Chain A
Amino acid sequence: MTIKICSKPFDPWREIQLYQHSAKDMAGKFGATSVFIGTMRDFNEGDDVRGMTLEHYPGMTEKQLEKIVAEAIRQWSIIDALVVHRVGDVLPNDPIVLVAVWTSHRGDAFDASRFIMEALKSRAPFWKKELLKSQAERWLVKNTNGYRQLRNGE
């Protein structure tokens, strides 16, 4: 498993290609790859957003992400996993986060990547400050729960 924190823009598709290419022992072993990419929008809460700064807690970020991936490995049958996250100044359309999980079968790939992503959102120490078109700045207050809220009887 690999955790990367990038202070410069990254190309998630190239990261996946390079990672898969370098992990020679994985060739022929995996039947499923689940990929999640989070990208910066140019709008939020009804406002036009022209950029954001991503702050983090160096050291704790890596420690928490390693714990999250280790928890996923205990819960699902994972061959390998890659997590890449941007920090610093980010522009609309820039990728912010990549989670890729390689497994034998699709169920583990989907479930593990979902778990890693939701755990990252609630536990990894990153903070976003938006710069609006109006020049105002604001810190995001809280991440939403990414799991669909079930209605009664569903």
Chain B
Amino acid sequence: MSIKVRYFASLKENVGRPEDDLESSGLATVDDVWLRANPNKALPDNILAAVNMEYVELDGVVKDGDEVAFFPPVTGG
């Protein structure tokens, strides 16, 4: 029973790894996921979040099996 966490671009360099696998029990929101994965690091202000590849706010709900992603503002095109 787990939640996969992914990091991209400058945030991936900042946290020093591309992903985490977390035990899902006790995790209700995207914010909870960040805190569990990065207990000593505040989520930088401008970071965006997605659950299962859809944008969500930090209070977005997570459940077992979800993929949660954190990344900086996008700069494509």
User: What sequence of 0s and 1s flags, for each residue 6-25 of chain B, a beta carbon within 8 Å of any chain A beta carbon?
Assistant: 10111000000000000000
Contact partner, B73, options A57, A85, A143, Cβ 8 Å: A143
Residues of A114-153 contacting chain B, CB below 8 A: 117, 120-129, 139-143
Q: Which of A59, A64, A127, A128 has the most chain B CB within a 10 Å cutoff?
A: A127
Q: Which residue of B lies closest to A64 (CB)?
A: B53
A127 to B9, CA, bound (A): 6
Q: Which residue of B lies closest to A63 (CB)?
A: B53
Report the minimum CB–CB distance from A4 to chain B (whole Å). 14
Chain B contributes a number of interface residues (CB within 8 A of A) equal to 17
Which chain B positions have C-beta within 8 A of A70? Answer: none
Given contacts A57-B6, A139-B10, contact A128 B75 (CB under 8 A): yes
User: What sequence of 0s and 1s flags, for each residue 58-81 of chain A, a beta carbon within 8 Å of any chain B beta carbon?
Assistant: 011001100000000000000000
Report the minimum CB–CB distance from A31 to chain B (whole Å). 27
B39 interface residue (CB < 8 Å to A): no
Does B74 lie within 8 Å of A126, measured CB to CB? yes
A55 to B7, CA, bound (A): 12
A125 to B72, CA, bound (A): 9
Does A123 lie within 8 Å of B74, measured CB to CB? yes
Does A143 lie within 8 Å of B50, measured CB to CB? no
Does A141 lie within 8 Å of B75, measured CB to CB? yes
Does A38 lie within 8 Å of B77, measured CB to CB? yes
Residues of B that sit less than 8 Å from A by CB: 6, 8-10, 46, 50, 53-55, 69, 71-77
Given contacts A57-B71, A124-B76, 10 further A-B contacts (CB under 8 A): A57-B53, A120-B76, A121-B76, A124-B77, A125-B76, A126-B76, A127-B8, A127-B9, A128-B76, A142-B75
